[in-house]
């Protein structure tokens, strides 16, 4: 199935890639808004393999609790002493992106022994410089970067990593760096760090607006169901799941063998149960917190999006951490993580 929409975001990202590396680029948005799908579309279908070498690291694929786990994600070891650049040149003709920086096994063992980021970064820089000498532009993409946010290795690893990214982009202009995250508190933390002021750009990948969501419903129904849905059916889907791509896909796919009302009732009931059990847990642990959470959620019975400072910081962060609300720190707004969550709030909160 062909990729749908996101041409505005694609144009912006390609424009960044085609220029000299200057800043770290954060691609952010609520859960399941399509960030990974967007970046994979660019990697697989929009880049000239003769010009770019992409390293894509998906931190969601591995449990990261220690330094060695993080290093395993970054590198792809191989036997022998063949130059990593030669390994890359042979692989890039077959693959649109690489999922680890090639490294000789003995070199990786030495890095593991010393356990310092300095040795890791020095090796990566050498590989990137070799790629640059070959006339290609290296690109680093890290998905779900917040997973190492609290990991310590001679201080917080995340700060050392960002300092390194600044060196690669703003100072050396060596490599483009893209970081993807749906953790809006992590984004806020990065956004408010003075050391990154003027060194980071932000690209929002949001849920579709209503017009685009309706077009997406049409696109999917024609491709999956081989038919068009009525205006009433499309309106019903949107009022239940909004513009969340993954939810729209779920609904249309299920329509192959289920009735629309049954599908939407199930989704809403499931979200209501999740919210009900969440509130039950909060009440059991802290009655006072429960009252504040309920009062906060009441605000969303009449509003889908509000100013972030409308809500007490402690409660705001609590609800964001629990994926009830999504914080956009750049625009200073709060909204439910999805239309389904919003509809559940309106049903459950009295």
Which tens digits make up the pLDDT trace of 313-326? 999 999 999 999 99
For residue 257, count other CB atoms closer than 10 A to its CB. Answer: 6
pLDDT of residue 128: 93
Q: Given this model, what pLDDT does residue 152 score?
A: 63
Q: What is residue 30's predicted lDDT score, i.e. its pLDDT?
A: 94
User: What does the alpha-carbon distance between residue 307 and residue 69 come to, in Å, rounded to a whole number?
Assistant: 38
The CA-atom distances, in angstroms, between 58 and each of 73, 100, 148, 290 are 8, 10, 12, 35
Per-residue pLDDT tens for 74-128? 888 887 777 777 777 777 666 667 788 888 888 888 877 776 777 889 999 999 9
Q: What is the pLDDT of residue 76?
A: 85
pLDDT along the chain (350 residues), means of 10: 83 96 96 94 91 90 78 83 75 71 84 77 91 92 86 70 93 96 89 82 96 96 95 98 97 97 98 97 97 97 95 96 95 96 94
Q: What is the pLDDT of residue 194?
A: 65
Supply the pLDDT for residue 340: 97
Q: Please tell me the number of Cα atoms within 13 Å of 249 on its side-chain side.
A: 11
pLDDT of residue 153: 55
């Amino acid at each position: 199935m062909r990729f749908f929409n996101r041409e505005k975001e694609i144009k912006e990202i390609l424009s960044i890639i085609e220029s000299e590396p200057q800043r770290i680029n954060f691609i952010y948005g609520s859960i399941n808004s399509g960030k990974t799908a967007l970046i994979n579309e660019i990697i697989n279908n929009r880049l000239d393999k003769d010009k770019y070498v992409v390293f894509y690291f998906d931190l969601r694929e591995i449990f990261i609790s220690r330094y060695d786990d993080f290093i395993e994600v970054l590198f792809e070891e191989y036997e022998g002493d063949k130059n990593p650049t030669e390994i890359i040149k042979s692989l890039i003709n077959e693959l649109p992106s690489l999922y680890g920086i090639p490294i000789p096994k003995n070199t990786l063992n030495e890095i593991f022994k010393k356990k310092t980021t300095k040795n890791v970064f020095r090796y990566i820089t050498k590989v990137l410089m070799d790629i640059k000498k070959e006339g290609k532009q290296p690109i680093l993409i890290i998905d779900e970067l917040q997973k190492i946010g609290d990991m310590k290795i001679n201080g917080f690893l995340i700060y050392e990593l960002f300092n390194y990214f600044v060196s690669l982009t703003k100072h050396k202009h060596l490599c483009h760096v893209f970081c993807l995250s749906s953790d809006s508190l992590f984004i806020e933390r990065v956004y408010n760090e003075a050391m990154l002021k003027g060194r980071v750009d932000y690209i929002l990948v949001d849920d579709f607006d209503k017009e685009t969501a309706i077009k997406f419903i049409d696109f999917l129904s024609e491709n999956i169901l081989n038919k068009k849905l009525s205006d009433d059916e499309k309106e019903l889907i949107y009022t239940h799941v909004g513009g969340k791509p993954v939810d729209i896909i779920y609904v249309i796919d299920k329509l192959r063998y289920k009735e629309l009302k049954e599908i939407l009732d199930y989704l809403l009931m499931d979200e209501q149960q999740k919210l009900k059990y969440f509130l039950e847990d909060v009440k059991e642990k802290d009655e006072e917190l429960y009252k504040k959470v309920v009062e906060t959620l009441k605000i969303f019975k009449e509003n889908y999006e509000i100013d972030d400072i409308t809500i007490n910081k402690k409660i705001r962060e609590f609800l964001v951490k629990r994926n009830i609300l999504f914080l956009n720190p750049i625009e200073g707004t709060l909204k439910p993580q999805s239309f389904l969550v919003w509809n559940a709030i309106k049903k459950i909160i009295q």
